[in-house]
Amino acid sequence: MMKLSSTNRELRTMTFENYMQREGGEKAYEEVQDAVKGFEERENLGLMIFGETGNGKTHLTAAGANLLIDQGYSVIFLTEKDLFSRLRETKRFSNHESFTDIMKACLDADLLIWDDFLSSQKFSPEEKDWVFQIVNGRERANRPIWMTSNLSPKEFEDPRTAYRLDEKGRTWWRLIVNMNCMYNRATNYRAVMAMERMKEMNHPQNGKENEHDSNELST
């Protein structure tokens, strides 16, 4: 069951069957496969895939999630933005979800997938506390977190990244020590698709010429 997810339907369509192996994405692909096959043995060992926009990070982690869901595991897939807004919403008078419910779901799920980690420009003290609660809580419960992030390799290694979550880097190091982190070097697939579509639209005669050719041959 993929709970607490706002884009359930699209995520369910992202599988390994419709994922193309692309140059630079090999390590991330292998890692997700391994994390699914060895889900029990890996215990709280999670993974982080970072890299440029559109290169398949969400697709890969969702493909892994779908396999685990089919095996009966509970998986929560959330973008950082959605998670924070859901938690923030609970503070409103008219809320229908309680803070404790969401927090409990994030700690209890067999797998938590945190999509777009560190996508927030700046974390409020409250948000920093939420991240720590989840990271710390899942570590204590011995459960993994999978993350995707737009961090560049340089940003990943920059100590300032660790201190974005708290001034001592507590959250960051707790998280990283329990993860296999890898850089997905594949290019932006959205750009590839857009360029192909544009080519088709601007050179429609390619298809027509072939039709014409075959007509000539048949006469």
Ligand X SMILES: Nc1ncnc2c1ncn2[C@@H]1O[C@H](COP(=O)(O)OP(=O)(O)OP(=O)(O)O)[C@@H](O)[C@H]1O
Q: Which residues bind ligand X (CB under 6 A)?
A: 14, 18-20, 22, 53-59, 116, 148, 150, 189-190
* Residues in contact with Mg ion by the rule CB under 5 A: 58
Minimum CB–partner distance for residue 24 and ligand X (Å): 10
Binding partner of 55, given Mg ion, ligand X, none, CB within 5-8 angstroms per partner class: ligand X
Burial tier of 90 (Cβ tally within 10 Å: 0-12, 13-18, 19+): middle
Contact 114, 146 (CB under 8 A): yes
Question: Considering beta carbons, is residue 5 or 55 the nearer one to ligand X?
Answer: 55
Return the number of the residue (58 or 184) whose C-beta is nearest Mg ion. Answer: 58
Instruction: Rank residues 148 and 178 by Cβ distance to Mg ion and give the closer one.
Output: 148
Q: In the complex with ligand X, which residue's Cβ is closer, 59 or 143?
A: 59
Which does residue 124 bind out of ligand X, Mg ion, none, counting CB within 5 to 8 angstroms by kind? none
- Token duo for residue 166: 């708290």
